Amino acid sequence: MASRTGASSPKLTVKRLRDGAPPLPAYQSAGAAGLDLCAALDQPLSIAPGARALVGTGYALAVPAGYEGQVRPRSGLAWKHGVTVLNAPGTIDSDYRGEIQVVLVNHGDRHFVVKPGMRIAQLAICPVARVSLRLVDELDATGRGAGGYGSTGV
């Protein structure tokens, strides 16, 4: 499969970990950047306001070398219910082979019920660069310098 640039797309190998797993991660539109991940639950799971839950997807992945999987919130859950991915984006390294799990947190003011098969997060496959470190006594100067946390404006 060729991408818009003509280069071939990376392949994502997926392993179903149990019978009755939800649908495979899938793009929901032609221009979607992320594949939706669904909850692999046997029964609904209620998350109280301020609480968090680890929700499995029922799948393991083999992310290609040179890439990472980024688990990101779904905007509709965040906007409508205050439910988001706590460690967003969560990173799936290319050498991890365990179940993909999502840490959901309920920032809303009501219990939120995660239903079996519900779309709970999205997965973007992104290239990563590995760097080599070089310890120095001084860094090159920039206009910003050490300014951070709002130093460039709000």
Q: What local confidence, expressed as pLDDT, does residue 153 receive? A: 76
Distance CA 72, CA 87 (A): 9
The b/e string for 36-72 (b: 16+ C-beta within 10 A; e otherwise) is bbbbbbeeebebeeeebbebbbbbbbebbeebbbbbb
Total number of domains in the chain: 1
- Confidence check: pLDDT of 2 > 50: no
Residue 81 main-chain phi, psi, to 5 deg? -130, -10
* Structure tokens given for 133: 């470190």
Q: What local confidence, expressed as pLDDT, does residue 1 receive? A: 44
CATH at residue 46: 2.70.40.10
Asked whether residue 78 is assigned to any structural domain, the reply reads yes
Contact 37, 25 (CB under 8 A): yes
CA within 13 Å, CB half, 102: 31
Domain of residue 102, residue span = 13-127
88-118: pLDDT as tens digits? 999 999 999 999 999 999 999 999 999 999 9
